[in-house]
Structure 1
Protein backbone atom coordinates (compact mmCIF):
# COMPACT_ATOMS: atom_id res chain seq x y z
CA UNK A 1 0.00 0.00 0.00
CA UNK A 2 1.28 3.46 -0.89
CA UNK A 3 2.24 5.87 1.87
CA UNK A 4 0.24 9.09 1.82
CA UNK A 5 2.39 12.23 1.62
CA UNK A 6 1.58 15.91 1.91
CA UNK A 7 3.84 18.89 1.20
CA UNK A 8 3.77 22.03 3.32
CA UNK A 9 5.43 24.87 1.42
CA UNK A 10 5.53 24.58 -2.35
CA UNK A 11 8.65 26.60 -3.11
CA UNK A 12 11.95 25.49 -4.61
CA UNK A 13 12.40 22.34 -2.51
CA UNK A 14 8.70 21.47 -2.36
CA UNK A 15 8.39 21.55 -6.15
CA UNK A 16 11.70 19.73 -6.68
CA UNK A 17 10.60 17.04 -4.23
CA UNK A 18 7.36 16.50 -6.15
CA UNK A 19 9.18 16.40 -9.50
CA UNK A 20 11.80 14.00 -8.17
CA UNK A 21 9.10 11.71 -6.83
CA UNK A 22 7.04 11.70 -10.03
CA UNK A 23 9.92 10.23 -12.05
CA UNK A 24 11.69 8.19 -9.39
CA UNK A 25 11.93 4.39 -9.09
CA UNK A 26 10.39 5.00 -5.65
CA UNK A 27 7.24 6.43 -7.27
CA UNK A 28 5.05 3.40 -6.54
CA UNK A 29 5.66 3.71 -2.80
CA UNK A 30 3.96 7.09 -2.38
CA UNK A 31 0.90 9.14 -3.19
CA UNK A 32 1.05 12.92 -2.76
CA UNK A 33 -2.49 13.69 -1.65
CA UNK A 34 -2.21 17.30 -0.46
CA UNK A 35 -0.15 20.47 -0.75
CA UNK A 36 -0.44 23.45 1.55
CA UNK A 37 0.88 26.66 0.00
CA UNK A 38 -0.36 30.23 0.63
CA UNK A 39 0.05 31.20 -3.04
CA UNK A 40 -2.84 30.83 -5.49
CA UNK A 41 -3.52 27.61 -7.36
CA UNK A 42 -2.89 29.00 -10.85
CA UNK A 43 0.57 30.21 -9.84
CA UNK A 44 1.33 26.84 -8.27
CA UNK A 45 0.37 25.05 -11.47
CA UNK A 46 2.35 27.46 -13.62
CA UNK A 47 5.54 27.06 -11.55
CA UNK A 48 5.09 23.29 -11.56
CA UNK A 49 4.85 23.30 -15.35
CA UNK A 50 7.67 25.77 -16.06
CA UNK A 51 10.93 25.96 -14.12
CA UNK A 52 13.79 28.25 -15.14
CA UNK A 53 16.36 25.98 -13.50
CA UNK A 54 15.15 22.43 -14.13
CA UNK A 55 13.16 22.92 -17.32
CA UNK A 56 9.57 22.21 -18.32
CA UNK A 57 7.74 19.48 -16.44
CA UNK A 58 7.84 16.35 -18.63
CA UNK A 59 4.26 15.40 -17.90
CA UNK A 60 0.78 16.90 -17.60
CA UNK A 61 -0.17 19.66 -15.15
CA UNK A 62 -3.77 20.89 -14.82
CA UNK A 63 -6.09 22.49 -12.27
CA UNK A 64 -9.73 21.87 -11.45
CA UNK A 65 -12.10 21.97 -8.48
CA UNK A 66 -9.44 23.51 -6.24
CA UNK A 67 -7.02 20.70 -6.98
CA UNK A 68 -3.72 20.32 -8.75
CA UNK A 69 -3.76 17.47 -11.25
CA UNK A 70 -0.31 16.11 -12.13
CA UNK A 71 0.03 13.20 -14.55
CA UNK A 72 -3.72 12.65 -14.02
CA UNK A 73 -3.29 12.29 -10.25
CA UNK A 74 -5.32 14.76 -8.19
CA UNK A 75 -3.73 16.60 -5.29
CA UNK A 76 -5.89 18.56 -2.87
CA UNK A 77 -4.58 22.09 -2.32
CA UNK A 78 -4.87 24.24 0.79
CA UNK A 79 -3.77 27.82 1.38
CA UNK A 80 -3.39 27.93 5.17
CA UNK A 81 -0.68 30.06 6.76
CA UNK A 82 -0.40 28.09 10.01
CA UNK A 83 -0.13 24.33 10.72
CA UNK A 84 -3.55 24.15 12.37
CA UNK A 85 -5.17 25.68 9.30
CA UNK A 86 -5.40 22.25 7.66
CA UNK A 87 -7.19 19.24 9.12
CA UNK A 88 -4.38 16.82 8.32
CA UNK A 89 -6.07 13.99 10.24
CA UNK A 90 -8.95 13.82 7.75
CA UNK A 91 -6.40 13.42 4.95
CA UNK A 92 -4.77 10.37 6.55
CA UNK A 93 -1.23 11.71 6.04
CA UNK A 94 1.58 9.28 6.83
CA UNK A 95 4.42 11.80 6.32
CA UNK A 96 4.25 15.56 5.93
CA UNK A 97 7.14 17.05 3.95
CA UNK A 98 7.75 20.37 5.71
CA UNK A 99 9.43 22.40 2.95
CA UNK A 100 8.42 25.93 3.91
CA UNK A 101 11.53 26.42 6.06
CA UNK A 102 9.46 28.36 8.59
CA UNK A 103 9.47 25.87 11.46
CA UNK A 104 12.56 24.63 13.28
CA UNK A 105 11.62 24.60 16.99
CA UNK A 106 9.95 21.54 18.50
CA UNK A 107 6.89 23.39 19.78
CA UNK A 108 6.30 24.74 16.25
CA UNK A 109 6.72 21.35 14.63
CA UNK A 110 4.44 19.69 17.15
CA UNK A 111 1.69 21.98 15.87
CA UNK A 112 1.59 19.77 12.78
CA UNK A 113 1.26 16.68 14.97
CA UNK A 114 -1.51 18.34 16.94
CA UNK A 115 -3.33 19.14 13.69
CA UNK A 116 -3.36 15.46 12.74
CA UNK A 117 -0.05 14.69 10.98
CA UNK A 118 1.46 11.37 11.98
CA UNK A 119 5.04 12.31 11.09
CA UNK A 120 6.96 15.34 9.81
CA UNK A 121 10.06 15.29 7.61
CA UNK A 122 11.90 18.63 7.54
CA UNK A 123 13.78 20.04 4.57
CA UNK A 124 16.11 21.86 6.96
CA UNK A 125 17.83 21.21 10.30
CA UNK A 126 16.01 21.55 13.57
CA UNK A 127 17.06 24.53 15.65
CA UNK A 128 18.83 22.11 17.99
CA UNK A 129 19.36 18.37 18.20
CA UNK A 130 16.46 18.05 20.65
CA UNK A 131 13.96 19.81 18.38
CA UNK A 132 13.76 16.70 16.19
CA UNK A 133 13.78 12.99 16.98
CA UNK A 134 16.56 12.33 14.47
CA UNK A 135 18.65 14.18 11.91
CA UNK A 136 19.33 11.87 8.98
CA UNK A 137 21.86 12.10 6.16
CA UNK A 138 20.88 9.24 3.90
CA UNK A 139 23.82 6.94 3.29
CA UNK A 140 25.48 7.91 6.56
CA UNK A 141 23.06 7.18 9.39
CA UNK A 142 19.68 6.24 7.87
CA UNK A 143 19.97 2.84 9.56
CA UNK A 144 19.16 4.61 12.83
CA UNK A 145 15.56 5.15 11.73
CA UNK A 146 13.19 2.86 13.61
CA UNK A 147 9.81 4.03 12.31
CA UNK A 148 8.74 5.24 15.76
CA UNK A 149 10.02 8.80 15.19
CA UNK A 150 7.51 11.62 14.80
CA UNK A 151 9.79 14.46 13.65
CA UNK A 152 12.83 13.84 11.44
CA UNK A 153 15.14 16.28 9.68
CA UNK A 154 16.91 15.49 6.41
CA UNK A 155 19.58 18.01 7.50
CA UNK A 156 20.58 20.46 4.73
CA UNK A 157 21.98 20.34 1.21
CA UNK A 158 25.42 21.39 2.48
CA UNK A 159 25.40 18.83 5.30
CA UNK A 160 24.45 16.07 2.88
CA UNK A 161 27.31 17.17 0.62
CA UNK A 162 30.10 17.36 3.19
CA UNK A 163 29.37 14.96 6.07
CA UNK A 164 29.90 11.71 4.10
CA UNK A 165 33.19 13.08 2.72
CA UNK A 166 34.40 14.09 6.18
CA UNK A 167 33.45 10.67 7.54
CA UNK A 168 35.43 8.91 4.79
CA UNK A 169 38.50 11.08 5.35
CA UNK A 170 38.34 10.71 9.12
CA UNK A 171 38.17 6.93 8.91
CA UNK A 172 41.06 6.75 6.44
CA UNK A 173 43.44 9.39 7.75
CA UNK A 174 42.03 10.96 10.89
CA UNK A 175 40.83 14.58 10.77
CA UNK A 176 42.72 16.96 13.01
CA UNK A 177 40.89 20.15 11.99
CA UNK A 178 38.94 21.30 8.94
CA UNK A 179 37.69 24.57 7.47
CA UNK A 180 34.68 24.53 5.12
CA UNK A 181 33.80 27.38 2.77
CA UNK A 182 30.46 26.98 1.02
CA UNK A 183 30.08 28.81 -2.28
CA UNK A 184 26.29 28.79 -2.46
CA UNK A 185 23.95 29.91 -5.21
CA UNK A 186 21.51 32.73 -4.49
CA UNK A 187 18.42 32.11 -2.37
CA UNK A 188 15.02 33.69 -1.75
CA UNK A 189 16.20 35.51 1.38
CA UNK A 190 18.24 37.85 -0.87
CA UNK A 191 16.89 40.77 -2.96
CA UNK A 192 17.58 41.31 -6.65
CA UNK A 193 18.52 44.91 -5.88
CA UNK A 194 19.65 46.51 -2.60
CA UNK A 195 16.75 46.84 -0.21
CA UNK A 196 15.47 46.47 3.36
CA UNK A 197 15.21 42.74 3.03
CA UNK A 198 16.81 41.06 6.04
CA UNK A 199 18.11 41.66 9.56
CA UNK A 200 21.50 40.39 8.35
CA UNK A 201 22.80 43.45 6.51
CA UNK A 202 24.77 41.26 4.12
CA UNK A 203 21.42 40.04 2.81
CA UNK A 204 20.19 43.54 2.03
CA UNK A 205 22.60 43.63 -0.92
CA UNK A 206 21.78 42.70 -4.50
CA UNK A 207 22.06 38.94 -4.95
CA UNK A 208 23.04 39.12 -8.61
CA UNK A 209 25.75 41.80 -8.43
CA UNK A 210 28.09 40.56 -5.71
CA UNK A 211 29.54 37.59 -3.90
CA UNK A 212 28.11 38.01 -0.40
CA UNK A 213 29.32 36.47 2.87
CA UNK A 214 26.45 35.08 4.98
CA UNK A 215 26.18 33.19 8.25
CA UNK A 216 26.00 29.39 8.24
CA UNK A 217 25.23 26.68 10.78
CA UNK A 218 27.15 24.04 8.83
CA UNK A 219 29.77 23.46 11.55
CA UNK A 220 26.99 22.77 14.07
CA UNK A 221 25.32 20.44 11.60
CA UNK A 222 28.52 18.48 11.11
CA UNK A 223 29.05 18.16 14.87
CA UNK A 224 25.46 16.94 15.29
CA UNK A 225 26.09 14.06 12.87
CA UNK A 226 29.78 13.42 13.55
CA UNK A 227 30.12 14.22 17.27
CA UNK A 228 33.75 13.04 17.38
CA UNK A 229 34.60 16.04 15.18
CA UNK A 230 32.87 18.61 17.41
CA UNK A 231 35.13 21.58 18.01
CA UNK A 232 37.41 20.67 15.12
CA UNK A 233 35.27 21.96 12.23
CA UNK A 234 34.68 25.60 11.31
CA UNK A 235 32.63 26.92 8.40
CA UNK A 236 31.74 30.05 6.49
CA UNK A 237 29.53 30.69 3.48
CA UNK A 238 29.55 33.02 0.49
CA UNK A 239 26.52 33.46 -1.76
CA UNK A 240 27.53 33.71 -5.41
CA UNK A 241 25.39 35.14 -8.25
CA UNK A 242 24.30 31.92 -9.95
CA UNK A 243 20.78 30.50 -9.68
CA UNK A 244 21.72 26.91 -8.84
CA UNK A 245 24.62 24.52 -8.09
CA UNK A 246 26.93 25.19 -5.17
CA UNK A 247 30.32 24.00 -4.01
CA UNK A 248 32.23 23.39 -0.79
CA UNK A 249 35.92 24.22 -0.60
CA UNK A 250 37.34 21.95 2.10
CA UNK A 251 40.69 22.52 3.79
CA UNK A 252 41.56 19.69 6.20
CA UNK A 253 44.60 18.96 8.31
CA UNK A 254 45.01 15.18 8.48
CA UNK A 255 46.51 13.15 11.30
CA UNK A 256 48.22 10.72 8.93
CA UNK A 257 50.13 11.54 5.72
CA UNK A 258 48.76 10.88 2.26
CA UNK A 259 48.96 12.02 -1.37
CA UNK A 260 46.63 13.52 -3.96
CA UNK A 261 46.59 10.21 -5.83
CA UNK A 262 45.64 8.24 -2.75
CA UNK A 263 42.90 10.67 -1.65
CA UNK A 264 41.33 10.68 -5.10
CA UNK A 265 41.48 6.89 -5.26
CA UNK A 266 39.79 6.65 -1.86
CA UNK A 267 36.97 9.00 -2.87
CA UNK A 268 36.50 7.38 -6.25
CA UNK A 269 36.16 3.99 -4.60
CA UNK A 270 33.53 5.41 -2.22
CA UNK A 271 31.61 7.03 -5.09
CA UNK A 272 31.64 3.82 -7.10
CA UNK A 273 30.86 1.64 -4.08
CA UNK A 274 28.96 2.26 -0.87
CA UNK A 275 28.03 5.86 -1.80
CA UNK A 276 26.96 5.11 -5.35
CA UNK A 277 23.98 7.24 -6.39
CA UNK A 278 24.67 9.80 -3.67
CA UNK A 279 28.31 10.68 -4.41
CA UNK A 280 29.94 11.08 -7.79
CA UNK A 281 33.52 11.51 -8.94
CA UNK A 282 34.95 13.31 -11.96
CA UNK A 283 38.36 14.27 -13.27
CA UNK A 284 37.07 16.33 -16.23
CA UNK A 285 37.49 20.15 -16.33
CA UNK A 286 34.13 21.41 -15.09
CA UNK A 287 32.08 24.55 -14.52
CA UNK A 288 29.20 24.61 -12.04
CA UNK A 289 26.47 24.48 -14.71
CA UNK A 290 27.60 20.96 -15.57
CA UNK A 291 26.01 19.72 -12.34
CA UNK A 292 22.61 21.36 -12.72
CA UNK A 293 19.92 18.70 -12.10
CA UNK A 294 22.45 16.23 -10.68
CA UNK A 295 20.78 13.85 -8.19
CA UNK A 296 24.04 13.38 -6.26
CA UNK A 297 24.61 15.02 -2.90
CA UNK A 298 28.32 15.48 -3.61
CA UNK A 299 30.46 15.43 -6.74
CA UNK A 300 34.20 15.17 -6.09
CA UNK A 301 36.17 17.31 -8.54
CA UNK A 302 39.37 15.25 -8.61
CA UNK A 303 41.18 17.76 -10.82
CA UNK A 304 40.99 20.31 -8.00
CA UNK A 305 42.40 18.08 -5.23
CA UNK A 306 45.54 19.61 -3.71
CA UNK A 307 48.00 18.78 -0.94
CA UNK A 308 50.34 21.20 0.85
CA UNK A 309 52.92 18.88 2.33
CA UNK A 310 51.51 15.46 3.11
CA UNK A 311 48.80 16.38 5.64
CA UNK A 312 47.11 19.61 4.51
CA UNK A 313 44.38 18.63 2.06
CA UNK A 314 42.18 20.80 -0.14
CA UNK A 315 39.08 19.40 -1.92
CA UNK A 316 36.40 20.93 -4.13
CA UNK A 317 32.95 19.31 -3.86
CA UNK A 318 30.08 20.33 -6.15
CA UNK A 319 26.36 19.77 -5.51
CA UNK A 320 23.01 20.76 -6.94
CA UNK A 321 21.58 22.32 -3.80
CA UNK A 322 17.99 21.85 -5.03
CA UNK A 323 17.74 18.63 -7.01
CA UNK A 324 20.35 16.63 -5.10
CA UNK A 325 18.80 17.50 -1.75
CA UNK A 326 15.23 16.81 -2.94
CA UNK A 327 16.36 13.33 -3.98
CA UNK A 328 17.91 12.69 -0.54
CA UNK A 329 14.67 13.78 1.12
CA UNK A 330 12.90 11.22 -1.03
CA UNK A 331 15.41 8.56 0.04
CA UNK A 332 14.85 9.39 3.71
CA UNK A 333 11.06 9.29 3.29
CA UNK A 334 11.28 5.88 1.62
CA UNK A 335 13.57 4.46 4.28
CA UNK A 336 11.40 5.86 7.07
CA UNK A 337 8.33 4.43 5.40
CA UNK A 338 9.88 0.95 5.26
CA UNK A 339 10.58 1.06 9.00
CA UNK A 340 6.98 2.03 9.77
CA UNK A 341 5.67 -1.23 8.32
Structure 2
Protein backbone atom coordinates (compact mmCIF):
# COMPACT_ATOMS: atom_id res chain seq x y z
CA UNK A 1 0.00 0.00 0.00
CA UNK A 2 1.15 3.52 -0.68
CA UNK A 3 1.66 6.30 1.79
CA UNK A 4 -0.56 8.79 -0.04
CA UNK A 5 0.01 11.76 2.23
CA UNK A 6 0.59 14.93 0.22
CA UNK A 7 3.15 16.19 2.73
CA UNK A 8 4.95 13.09 4.03
CA UNK A 9 7.49 13.66 6.79
CA UNK A 10 10.85 11.98 6.90
CA UNK A 11 11.43 9.47 9.67
CA UNK A 12 14.83 8.34 10.90
CA UNK A 13 14.75 5.02 12.74
CA UNK A 14 17.05 2.45 14.22
CA UNK A 15 20.55 3.15 15.39
CA UNK A 16 22.10 2.55 18.81
CA UNK A 17 19.09 3.57 20.95
CA UNK A 18 16.67 1.15 19.37
CA UNK A 19 14.66 -0.41 22.18
CA UNK A 20 13.76 -0.30 25.81
CA UNK A 21 16.30 -2.28 27.82
CA UNK A 22 13.62 -4.16 29.75
CA UNK A 23 9.87 -4.77 29.74
CA UNK A 24 7.70 -1.66 29.45
CA UNK A 25 4.08 -0.81 28.67
CA UNK A 26 3.79 2.11 26.25
CA UNK A 27 0.38 2.65 24.64
CA UNK A 28 0.96 4.28 21.25
CA UNK A 29 -2.05 6.09 19.79
CA UNK A 30 -2.31 6.09 16.00
CA UNK A 31 -3.42 8.88 13.71
CA UNK A 32 -6.03 8.77 10.98
CA UNK A 33 -4.70 9.07 7.43
CA UNK A 34 -6.98 9.32 4.39
CA UNK A 35 -5.62 7.41 1.39
CA UNK A 36 -6.48 8.82 -2.00
CA UNK A 37 -7.86 12.25 -1.13
CA UNK A 38 -10.79 13.45 0.99
CA UNK A 39 -13.12 10.71 -0.27
CA UNK A 40 -10.53 7.95 0.06
CA UNK A 41 -10.21 5.13 2.56
CA UNK A 42 -9.22 6.03 6.11
CA UNK A 43 -6.50 4.04 7.89
CA UNK A 44 -5.09 4.28 11.41
CA UNK A 45 -1.31 4.59 11.35
CA UNK A 46 0.44 3.54 14.57
CA UNK A 47 3.97 3.17 13.17
CA UNK A 48 5.95 5.29 12.74
CA UNK A 49 4.75 6.98 15.93
CA UNK A 50 5.88 10.09 17.77
CA UNK A 51 7.25 7.94 20.56
CA UNK A 52 8.37 4.76 18.81
CA UNK A 53 9.59 4.58 15.23
CA UNK A 54 10.08 0.80 14.89
CA UNK A 55 9.49 -2.58 16.51
CA UNK A 56 12.38 -4.72 15.37
CA UNK A 57 12.49 -4.17 11.61
CA UNK A 58 8.73 -3.42 11.48
CA UNK A 59 8.59 0.25 10.51
CA UNK A 60 5.03 0.92 9.28
CA UNK A 61 1.62 -0.24 10.50
CA UNK A 62 -1.68 0.79 8.87
CA UNK A 63 -4.95 -0.73 10.15
CA UNK A 64 -8.12 -0.20 8.12
CA UNK A 65 -11.76 -1.22 8.48
CA UNK A 66 -13.95 -3.04 9.00
CA UNK A 67 -16.11 -0.83 6.83
CA UNK A 68 -17.49 -0.73 3.29
CA UNK A 69 -14.76 0.76 1.14
CA UNK A 70 -13.34 0.79 -2.35
CA UNK A 71 -9.57 0.49 -2.47
CA UNK A 72 -7.93 1.76 -5.62
CA UNK A 73 -4.27 2.55 -5.08
CA UNK A 74 -2.61 3.35 -8.40
CA UNK A 75 0.95 2.24 -9.21
CA UNK A 76 3.52 3.68 -6.81
CA UNK A 77 7.16 2.92 -5.99
CA UNK A 78 8.97 1.29 -3.07
CA UNK A 79 12.62 0.86 -2.14
CA UNK A 80 14.45 -0.76 0.74
CA UNK A 81 11.50 -2.52 2.37
CA UNK A 82 9.08 -5.43 2.31
CA UNK A 83 5.30 -4.97 2.27
CA UNK A 84 3.23 -7.47 4.25
CA UNK A 85 -0.48 -7.51 3.31
CA UNK A 86 -2.83 -9.25 5.77
CA UNK A 87 -6.62 -9.28 5.40
CA UNK A 88 -9.36 -10.14 7.87
CA UNK A 89 -12.25 -9.36 5.48
CA UNK A 90 -12.54 -8.64 1.76
CA UNK A 91 -10.43 -9.39 -1.30
CA UNK A 92 -7.68 -7.23 -2.83
CA UNK A 93 -5.90 -7.59 -6.18
CA UNK A 94 -2.15 -6.96 -6.23
CA UNK A 95 -0.28 -6.14 -9.45
CA UNK A 96 3.39 -5.18 -9.74
CA UNK A 97 6.15 -4.27 -12.17
CA UNK A 98 7.47 -7.86 -12.12
CA UNK A 99 4.25 -8.97 -13.83
CA UNK A 100 2.75 -10.49 -10.67
CA UNK A 101 -1.05 -10.49 -10.43
CA UNK A 102 -2.40 -12.02 -7.25
CA UNK A 103 -5.63 -11.95 -5.27
CA UNK A 104 -5.26 -11.84 -1.53
CA UNK A 105 -8.03 -12.99 0.78
CA UNK A 106 -8.26 -13.47 4.57
CA UNK A 107 -5.68 -15.83 6.05
CA UNK A 108 -3.34 -15.63 3.07
CA UNK A 109 -0.14 -13.65 2.88
CA UNK A 110 1.15 -11.35 0.15
CA UNK A 111 4.81 -10.48 0.68
CA UNK A 112 6.49 -8.04 -1.70
CA UNK A 113 10.20 -7.37 -1.41
CA UNK A 114 11.06 -4.03 -2.96
CA UNK A 115 14.81 -4.45 -2.83
CA UNK A 116 16.43 -1.80 -5.01
CA UNK A 117 13.15 -0.79 -6.72
CA UNK A 118 9.62 -2.01 -7.49
CA UNK A 119 6.21 -0.52 -8.20
CA UNK A 120 2.76 -1.99 -7.58
CA UNK A 121 -0.96 -1.27 -7.38
CA UNK A 122 -3.76 -2.52 -5.12
CA UNK A 123 -7.48 -2.65 -5.81
CA UNK A 124 -10.42 -4.11 -3.93
CA UNK A 125 -12.31 -6.63 -6.04
CA UNK A 126 -15.83 -5.53 -5.07
CA UNK A 127 -16.88 -1.92 -4.90
CA UNK A 128 -18.02 -0.78 -1.44
CA UNK A 129 -17.58 -4.26 0.06
CA UNK A 130 -16.41 -4.58 3.65
CA UNK A 131 -12.62 -4.36 3.88
CA UNK A 132 -10.59 -5.05 7.01
CA UNK A 133 -6.88 -5.58 7.19
CA UNK A 134 -3.42 -4.35 8.01
CA UNK A 135 -0.60 -3.19 5.79
CA UNK A 136 2.88 -3.54 7.27
CA UNK A 137 6.36 -2.59 6.14
CA UNK A 138 9.61 -4.27 7.14
CA UNK A 139 12.85 -2.31 6.71
CA UNK A 140 15.53 -4.21 4.81
CA UNK A 141 19.06 -4.25 6.25
CA UNK A 142 22.02 -2.98 4.28
CA UNK A 143 22.88 -6.44 2.96
CA UNK A 144 19.45 -6.95 1.38
CA UNK A 145 18.15 -3.53 0.42
CA UNK A 146 19.87 -3.40 -2.98
CA UNK A 147 18.78 -6.92 -4.00
CA UNK A 148 16.48 -7.70 -6.91
CA UNK A 149 12.76 -7.19 -6.16
CA UNK A 150 10.53 -10.20 -5.55
CA UNK A 151 6.93 -11.15 -4.85
CA UNK A 152 5.64 -14.17 -2.90
CA UNK A 153 2.13 -15.39 -2.12
CA UNK A 154 1.60 -17.86 0.72
CA UNK A 155 -1.89 -19.41 0.75
CA UNK A 156 -1.05 -21.66 3.72
CA UNK A 157 0.70 -20.59 6.91
CA UNK A 158 1.61 -22.52 10.06
CA UNK A 159 -1.08 -22.55 12.75
CA UNK A 160 -0.92 -23.28 16.47
CA UNK A 161 -4.12 -24.07 18.35
CA UNK A 162 -5.02 -24.06 22.04
CA UNK A 163 -8.42 -24.11 23.75
CA UNK A 164 -10.29 -21.10 22.36
CA UNK A 165 -7.22 -19.72 20.56
CA UNK A 166 -5.83 -20.00 17.02
CA UNK A 167 -2.38 -18.55 16.30
CA UNK A 168 -1.30 -17.96 12.68
CA UNK A 169 2.40 -17.27 12.16
CA UNK A 170 2.61 -14.67 9.39
CA UNK A 171 6.39 -14.15 9.43
CA UNK A 172 9.29 -15.57 11.39
CA UNK A 173 8.99 -18.21 14.11
CA UNK A 174 6.72 -18.51 17.12
CA UNK A 175 6.21 -21.41 19.51
CA UNK A 176 7.98 -23.84 17.20
CA UNK A 177 6.05 -22.83 14.06
CA UNK A 178 7.95 -21.12 11.25
CA UNK A 179 6.38 -19.12 8.43
CA UNK A 180 7.61 -19.77 4.87
CA UNK A 181 7.86 -16.01 4.29
CA UNK A 182 11.37 -14.89 3.31
CA UNK A 183 12.70 -12.39 5.83
CA UNK A 184 16.07 -10.68 6.19
CA UNK A 185 16.29 -9.85 9.91
CA UNK A 186 15.22 -11.85 12.98
CA UNK A 187 11.55 -10.97 13.52
CA UNK A 188 8.06 -12.36 14.07
CA UNK A 189 4.55 -11.41 13.04
CA UNK A 190 1.45 -13.37 14.09
CA UNK A 191 -2.32 -13.10 14.35
CA UNK A 192 -4.03 -14.57 17.43
CA UNK A 193 -7.79 -15.24 17.25
CA UNK A 194 -9.55 -15.61 20.63
CA UNK A 195 -12.93 -16.92 21.67
CA UNK A 196 -14.56 -14.94 24.45
CA UNK A 197 -12.85 -15.52 27.82
CA UNK A 198 -10.02 -17.56 26.23
CA UNK A 199 -6.47 -17.00 27.43
CA UNK A 200 -3.03 -17.83 26.12
CA UNK A 201 0.60 -17.41 27.18
CA UNK A 202 2.86 -16.69 24.21
CA UNK A 203 6.52 -17.71 24.49
CA UNK A 204 8.77 -14.76 23.63
CA UNK A 205 12.47 -14.17 23.03
CA UNK A 206 14.06 -11.87 25.63
CA UNK A 207 16.38 -10.39 22.97
CA UNK A 208 13.39 -9.27 20.83
CA UNK A 209 11.30 -6.16 21.36
CA UNK A 210 7.53 -6.66 20.95
CA UNK A 211 4.25 -4.84 20.42
CA UNK A 212 0.62 -6.00 20.23
CA UNK A 213 -2.52 -4.45 18.75
CA UNK A 214 -6.16 -5.53 18.97
CA UNK A 215 -7.73 -5.79 15.51
CA UNK A 216 -11.19 -6.75 16.77
CA UNK A 217 -12.82 -7.36 20.15
CA UNK A 218 -11.18 -6.65 23.50
CA UNK A 219 -8.11 -8.46 24.82
CA UNK A 220 -6.01 -7.85 27.91
CA UNK A 221 -2.25 -7.93 27.24
CA UNK A 222 0.09 -7.95 30.24
CA UNK A 223 -2.69 -6.36 32.28
CA UNK A 224 -3.53 -3.64 29.72
CA UNK A 225 -6.99 -3.83 28.15
CA UNK A 226 -6.77 -3.31 24.39
CA UNK A 227 -9.54 -2.35 21.99
CA UNK A 228 -8.91 -1.74 18.26
CA UNK A 229 -6.77 1.32 17.68
CA UNK A 230 -3.59 1.76 19.74
CA UNK A 231 -0.40 -0.29 19.62
CA UNK A 232 0.99 -1.50 22.96
CA UNK A 233 4.80 -1.44 22.93
CA UNK A 234 6.27 -3.98 25.36
CA UNK A 235 10.04 -3.50 25.05
CA UNK A 236 12.59 -6.31 25.42
CA UNK A 237 13.46 -8.77 28.15
CA UNK A 238 10.28 -10.87 28.19
CA UNK A 239 10.10 -14.65 27.99
CA UNK A 240 6.30 -14.77 27.75
CA UNK A 241 3.23 -12.60 27.23
CA UNK A 242 -0.12 -13.45 28.81
CA UNK A 243 -3.21 -12.51 26.77
CA UNK A 244 -6.77 -12.79 28.07
CA UNK A 245 -9.81 -12.14 25.89
CA UNK A 246 -12.62 -10.06 27.41
CA UNK A 247 -14.52 -10.34 24.13
CA UNK A 248 -13.93 -12.59 21.15
CA UNK A 249 -11.32 -10.88 19.02
CA UNK A 250 -8.09 -10.88 17.08
CA UNK A 251 -4.69 -9.55 18.07
CA UNK A 252 -1.65 -8.71 15.97
CA UNK A 253 1.74 -9.53 17.52
CA UNK A 254 4.89 -7.91 16.10
CA UNK A 255 8.42 -8.42 17.31
CA UNK A 256 12.02 -8.56 16.31
CA UNK A 257 15.64 -8.03 17.14
CA UNK A 258 16.16 -4.27 17.59
CA UNK A 259 17.14 -2.81 14.22
CA UNK A 260 20.68 -1.46 14.47
CA UNK A 261 20.81 0.67 11.31
CA UNK A 262 19.52 4.21 10.90
CA UNK A 263 16.98 4.51 8.10
CA UNK A 264 15.23 7.47 6.55
CA UNK A 265 11.58 6.88 5.62
CA UNK A 266 9.96 9.40 3.30
CA UNK A 267 6.80 8.77 1.26
CA UNK A 268 7.16 5.18 -0.03
CA UNK A 269 10.94 5.03 0.15
CA UNK A 270 13.30 3.66 2.78
CA UNK A 271 16.85 4.92 2.37
CA UNK A 272 19.86 6.03 4.33
CA UNK A 273 20.31 9.68 3.35
CA UNK A 274 18.71 12.76 1.82
CA UNK A 275 20.66 12.15 -1.38
CA UNK A 276 19.26 8.62 -1.75
CA UNK A 277 15.68 9.73 -1.20
CA UNK A 278 16.11 12.55 -3.71
CA UNK A 279 17.49 10.08 -6.27
CA UNK A 280 14.66 7.60 -5.70
CA UNK A 281 12.10 10.36 -6.21
CA UNK A 282 13.73 11.56 -9.45
CA UNK A 283 13.94 8.01 -10.81
CA UNK A 284 10.23 7.50 -10.16
CA UNK A 285 9.27 10.83 -11.74
CA UNK A 286 11.48 10.12 -14.77
CA UNK A 287 10.04 6.63 -15.23
CA UNK A 288 13.31 4.77 -14.68
CA UNK A 289 14.30 1.88 -12.39
CA UNK A 290 10.83 1.07 -11.01
CA UNK A 291 9.30 -0.64 -14.03
CA UNK A 292 5.66 -0.47 -15.16
CA UNK A 293 2.53 -2.10 -13.78
CA UNK A 294 1.25 -3.09 -17.20
CA UNK A 295 -2.25 -4.35 -16.33
CA UNK A 296 -3.38 -1.33 -14.30
CA UNK A 297 -5.89 0.92 -16.06
CA UNK A 298 -4.80 4.34 -14.91
CA UNK A 299 -1.89 6.65 -14.28
CA UNK A 300 0.78 6.16 -11.60
CA UNK A 301 0.81 8.24 -8.44
CA UNK A 302 3.16 11.23 -8.78
CA UNK A 303 5.75 11.75 -6.08
CA UNK A 304 5.12 14.66 -3.72
CA UNK A 305 7.64 17.47 -3.52
CA UNK A 306 10.53 17.02 -1.16
CA UNK A 307 10.39 19.20 1.96
CA UNK A 308 12.22 22.51 1.76
CA UNK A 309 14.53 21.43 4.57
CA UNK A 310 17.10 18.69 4.25
CA UNK A 311 16.04 15.20 5.30
CA UNK A 312 18.16 14.47 8.33
CA UNK A 313 18.24 12.27 11.44
CA UNK A 314 15.94 13.38 14.24
CA UNK A 315 16.38 10.38 16.54
CA UNK A 316 14.15 7.41 17.33
CA UNK A 317 12.30 9.08 20.17
CA UNK A 318 11.17 12.67 20.73
Same fold (TM over 0.5): no
Higher strand share: 2
Instruction: Write 1 or 2 for the structure with the bigger share of helix.
Output: 1
- Tell me which of the two structures has the higher relative contact order, counting C-alpha pairs closer than 8 angstroms and 6 or more residues apart: 2
TM-score, structure 2 normalization: 0.29
Larger Rg: 1
